[in-house]
A and B are shown apart, each in its own frame.
Chain A
Amino acid sequence: KAGVTQTPRYLIKTRGQQVTLSCSPISGHRSVSWYQQTPGQGLQFLFEYFSETQRNKGNFPGRFSGRQFSNSRSEMNVSTLELGDSALYLCASSFYGVDTEAFFGQGTRLTVV
């Protein structure tokens, strides 16, 4: 079956702009989590959505937001981009619950200039 699909793969934006990233989970998976990966901070949890509801949130400013649609596809939005937002953004989908593995997409590489 198809894996987790993230679009776009690469993105270049200017400071102050906003950006929307998309994640299509594996068919049947209802949980989608988002992560930011930078060389300095490693992999950091942003938020998790399940059945269109945000269930958990990491320690990121309000400029980072997300949503999930009825088909489980999820979008992540970053407003007022800063240079420090340059990172690899990963999403992961899982069926349900803490005892099921999560499958990651290839990520979206965002560069803010």
Chain B
Amino acid sequence: DAKTTQPPSMDCAEGRAANLPCNHSTISGNEYVYWYRQIHSQGPQYIIHGLKNNETNEMASLIITEDRKSSTLILPHATLRDTAVYYCIVRVDGTGGFKTIFGAGTRLFVKA
């Protein structure tokens, strides 16, 4: 039931920018795009989220296309500690609340 699709894995050289794409072609107008990452055996960690404007914080930047059907998470200077599974998810409005639907994620390998 995932509403997002991501490549299963990607490699990135340490110090370079990591660009992780996500397709969410069926997103509705009031649904937010969120990115989380999960390092082995830990709970997912929030990275960033957005509705339609590009967003930037101390961890990453989120670029959302104008039609909102896809987005890209950018880690500007990847380090070895950024090796993790990255999830692009859509927060879906439920009946008075919301639920978060995770896809399979992208396993990012940062190599020295």
Are A104's CB and B45's CB within 8 A?
yes
A55-80 residues at the B interface, CB under 8 angstroms: 55-56, 58-59
Say which size band chain B's interface belongs to.
20 to 34
Digitize A89-105: 1 where CB-to-B-CB distance is under 8 Å, 0 elsewhere.
01010000111011111
What is the number of residues of chain A that contact chain B, defined by CB distance less than 8 Å?
A: 26
Could you tell me the distance in whole angstroms from the C-beta of B28 to the nearest C-beta in chain A? Answer: 11
Binds A, one of B60-68, B71-79, B92-100: B92-100
A106 touches B (CB below 8 Å): yes
Do residues B46 and A98 form an inter-chain contact, with CB atoms below 8 A? no
Complex Cα distance, B49 from A48, in Å, reads: 20
Since A101-B34, A102-B100, A104-B45 are in contact, a sample of 20 more A-B pairs with Cβ atoms closer than 8 Å, ordered by chain A residue number, is A33-B99, A33-B100, A35-B102, A43-B44, A44-B102, A45-B102, A48-B98, A50-B97, A55-B95, A55-B96, A55-B98, A56-B95, A56-B98, A59-B1, A92-B44, A97-B98, A98-B92, A98-B98, A102-B46, A107-B43
Which B residues fall within an 8 A CB radius of A? 1, 30-32, 34, 36, 42-46, 49, 51, 87, 91-105
